[in-house]
């Protein structure tokens, strides 16, 4: 792998994958099979959208692959790392160093500036931000003139840009988004989707996004449909949305 952070990484290989991933919540009358033997691979440098009706297991899939939830059975690998082999400390470190997450709620710290929010995960990891990379990510999401602002001084769309930059700045193996435009108007949502798209095209980022909105899914290279905890079908876009 190149050491120059400005050179996109090659789009070969698998960023994360599952085999027979099953997640069961509850037991007896309240037993719910949220994921039923799901096998899926996310290629490096690819933008995947995961769609499906409410309750079909989209968030559970994201949380299991991101190491935020524990499978009942089956396997999850991030890169070549099998998550079930990690103790809590190593899993926390993997999440911190190799996973970015953008939630529907922006989840910014209100007392920190935009810049401090973006670099907080690196600060927690004791890592110094790569200045060039930080500048590139910040300018890509159009925040160069808003870095001193606190979240309350930013629009929802700008706050989500901060969350996107925060997810990208550590150069994670994968950025996950769970309905990242769910709280935004269509214009601000389109901006965020465009930035995620740009991160794939310009930075070689791997992105996996849950959405129930076909217009949002149109930004992805690949759309995977879940139904009742299983993969129902998937489609590839020959040309990605460029808007
Ligand atoms: P989606 O994101 O597609 O709406 P989820 O992955 O959130 O679906 O949920 C899948 C199924 O698992 C649903 O039936 C949901 O009620 C159930 N579920 C999700 N999280 C929990 C939990 N923490 N405890 C019990 N059931 C849960
Ligand atoms: Mg969900």
Q: Could you give phi then psi for residue 30, rounded to 5 degrees?
A: -100, 10
User: How many A from CA of 59 to the centre of ligand 1?
Assistant: 7
CB 138 within 8 A of CB 131: no
Q: Does residue 55 lie in a domain region?
A: yes
Q: What is the pLDDT of residue 11?
A: 42
**The total number of structural domains that make up the chain:** 1
Range of the domain at 136: 45-67+87-236
Q: Does residue 113 lie in a domain region?
A: yes
Q: What is the pLDDT of residue 2?
A: 43
Cβ density class 17-42: b for 16+ within 10 Å, e for less: bbeebbbeeeeeeeeebbbbebebeb
Which of 28, 60, 103, 217 for a ligand 1 pocket mutation test, highest count of atoms within 8 Å of Cβ? 60
pLDDT, mean of each 10-residue run, the chain (243 residues): 49 86 96 97 96 96 96 96 95 93 94 96 89 93 95 96 95 95 94 95 95 94 97 80 46
Q: What is the pLDDT of residue 237?
A: 79
Q: What is the pLDDT of residue 81?
A: 93
User: How many A from CA of 174 to the centre of ligand 1?
Assistant: 22
Q: What is the pLDDT of residue 6?
A: 52
Q: What is the pLDDT of residue 12?
A: 47
Q: Of all protein residues, whose CA lies closest to atom 23 belonging to ligand 1?
A: 25
User: How many A from CA of 23 to the centre of ligand 1?
Assistant: 10
User: Closest ligand 1 atom, CA of 60?
Assistant: 6
Q: What is the pLDDT of residue 238?
A: 61
Q: Does residue 40 lie in a domain region?
A: no
Q: What is the pLDDT of residue 10?
A: 47
Cβ density class 71-94: b for 16+ within 10 Å, e for less: beebebbbeebebeebeeeebeeb
């Amino acid at each position: 792998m190149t050491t120059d952070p400005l050179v996109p990484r090659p789009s070969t290989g698998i960023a994360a994958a599952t085999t027979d991933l099953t997640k069961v919540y509850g037991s007896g009358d309240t037993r719910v099979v949220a994921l039923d033997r799901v096998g899926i691979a996310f290629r490096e440098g690819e933008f995947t959208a995961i769609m499906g009706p409410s309750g079909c297991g989209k968030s559970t899939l994201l949380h299991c692959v991101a190491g935020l939830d524990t499978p009942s059975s089956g396997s999850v690998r991030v890169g070549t790392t099998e998550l079930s082999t990690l103790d809590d400390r190593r899993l926390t470190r993997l999440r911190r160093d190799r996973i970015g997450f953008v939630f529907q709620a922006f989840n910014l710290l209100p007392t920190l500036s935009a810049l401090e929010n973006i670099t907080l995960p690196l600060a927690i990891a004791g890592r110094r931000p790569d200045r060039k990379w930080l500048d590139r990510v910040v300018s890509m999401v159009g925040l160069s003139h808003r870095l001193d602002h606190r979240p309350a001084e930013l629009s929802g769309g700008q706050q989500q840009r901060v969350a996107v930059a925060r997810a990208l700045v550590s150069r994670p193996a994968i950025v996950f988004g769970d309905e990242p435009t769910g709280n935004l108007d269509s214009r601000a949502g389109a901006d965020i989707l465009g930035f995620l798209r740009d991160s794939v095209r310009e930075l070689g980022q791997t992105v996996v996004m849950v959405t129930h909105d076909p217009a949002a899914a149109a930004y992805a290279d690949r759309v995977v449909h879940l139904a009742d905890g299983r993969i129902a079908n998937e489609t590839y876009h020959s040309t990605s949305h460029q808007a």
